[in-house]
Structure 1
Amino acid sequence: MWGLGSGGSRGPRRALSTEQIVDAAVTVAEQGGLVAVSMARVAQELGFTTMSLYRYVDSKDTLIELMQDRVIGLPPELPADANWRTALEIWARAEYRTIQRHPFWLDIPISGPPRGPNNMAWLETGLAALDDSPFPPQMKLLLLLNLSLFVISQARFARDATDSDDFAPVLRRVLDPAQFPALSAVLAEGSLDDDNPPGGTESGWAEGLFEFGLGRLLDGYAALSNTP
């Protein structure tokens, strides 16, 4: 992942590279989802035998970890004059858009902290965005990880949420206002209708929910820092 521990120059010239294998695996995942990725399927994509891949990648688990880092790519360049809140907004939206472009990324299990160079670049950029904040170093890390987990959960909701055109109308028919007075009041004023997403945005529920939640999360960070 970091380009360390590569083999020497002796022996037959290698016809593949780790980068080619990872790119092929990403292609397979983009076409058929993460479930379609196997060493055999990736080898087929490349026109090589399955065993030949193991000279470069020791297991499917390692391959998926490499894919996770490759797909997330490099972080955005943040404006030098942006305050910490604005910088975090840009950072969070960039992560959200990147994940949306590669939906299979959300199916990769989170088994521990990311270790790849691209993920470390995102972490470095996010921490640098907090340079002008009053938070101590450890809290900066916790705030950034919390923000990233929020982004991932919102991206998963946006991907997985099914068509909800009949959600509010069905609830209006089946809910007894005497048993569910608070929910019935929300339904009555249209807060759960598809054409009335959170925050008054016009981009639909998933986008509105992300922007509303991002704003409130950063409001909390600002309150914690005692800054406007």
Structure 2
Amino acid sequence: MTTPAADPRRMGKPARVRGPYAKSAQRSREIIEAATTVFATHGYRGGSLRDIARQLDLSLTSIVHHFGTKYELLEAVLERADKTVGTGFAAFDFEADCAERGVAPATLERVRSNLERPELLRLLAILAAESSAPEHPAHDWFIHRYRSKRESLAAAFAFDRSKGRINSGRDPELLSGMLIGTWDGLQLQWLIDPSADMERGMRAFFEWAIPEALSGGDEPRTD
């Protein structure tokens, strides 16, 4: 008796899903990259889905097929940018590097790597300014982002304090807010005028505010 062929649906593994899925994922990445350029140039209000579609020579329907609304696309763009240049992941894990070497060396390393990503930095700067208006679609996203950044850096400074990398009298929450303000401010100045030395400014902040934080060494990573 001949055994009937297995039905892929009953095996829980759809047939021929890898090719179309890979193409769809690639197209989504392309749309996010194009949207990053449009939003970084015109902001969220000034950039349209049609602008993004034109960049890729796609129909508006194709964009909406992958991202149902302009805001869904904005969220995807923001998440990608924040993971790349924020306190998330880039060439190395920022939080893990803070734990390994301390906040100051890890921050200076991130500043150096971010100099190669001006478009993403410009995107976050423009959208952060736009989203200061409570009615902006990204307002809540940026509130959460800054709260998370403050909490993450405060925890990293507290860990530095427990390891003796910074003095025991330092206030991790205060340092966290000061670092974010200094970092964002210097970054904005550099985006406006690339001759501004952002890395030198960040190093000066640590030398002034918590000089002992630099004693662990801050040479660039080679791995």
Structure 2 residue 145 is matched with structure 1 residue 114: yes
Q: Within 2, Cα distance between the matches of 1:207 and 1:151?
A: 10
Structure 2 residue 75 is matched with structure 1 residue 65: yes
Q: Within 1, Cα distance between the matches of 2:160 and 2:197?
A: 33
Aligned to 2:111: 96
Pair 1:50–1:81, CA change in 2 (3 A): closer
Aligned to 1:216: 208
TM-score normalised by structure 1 residue count: 0.50
Q: Of residues 18, 24, 36 in structure 2, which corresponds to 1:26?
A: 36
Pair 1:59–1:126, CA change in 2 (3 A): farther
TM-score normalised by structure 2 residue count: 0.51
Pair 1:63–1:141, CA change in 2 (3 A): farther
Q: Within 1, Cα distance between the matches of 2:192 and 2:69?
A: 29
Spell out, residue by residue over 1:121-173, the C-alpha distance to the aligned partner (whole angstroms, 9 max, x if none).
997588456424249xxx6466435422321111101222498xxxxxxxxxx
Aligned to 1:49: 59
Aligned to 2:184: 152
Q: Within 2, Cα distance between the matches of 1:66 and 1:145?
A: 26
5+ residue gaps, structure 1, are 1-8, 164-203, 223-228
Once the two structures are superposed, the pairs formed by residues 153-168 of structure 1 within 5 Å of their partners are 153-161=185-193
Q: Within 1, Cα distance between the matches of 2:36 and 2:49?
A: 12
Aligned to 2:161: 133
Q: Within 1, Cα distance between the matches of 2:54 and 2:154?
A: 38
5+ residue gaps, structure 2, are 1-13, 15-19, 132-138, 215-223
Contact 2:43/2:126, CA 8 A, preserved across alignment: yes
Contact 1:92/1:148, CA 8 A, preserved across alignment: no
Pair 1:132–1:212, CA change in 2 (3 A): closer
Pair 1:132–1:161, CA change in 2 (3 A): closer
Q: Within 2, Cα distance between the matches of 1:162 and 1:121?
A: 25
- CA apart distance, 1:22: 1.0
Aligned to 1:40: 50
SS class of match (2:200):
helix
- Aligned-pair identity in percent equals 14
Pair 1:34–1:98, CA change in 2 (3 A): farther
Q: Within 2, Cα distance between the matches of 1:152 and 1:142?
A: 16
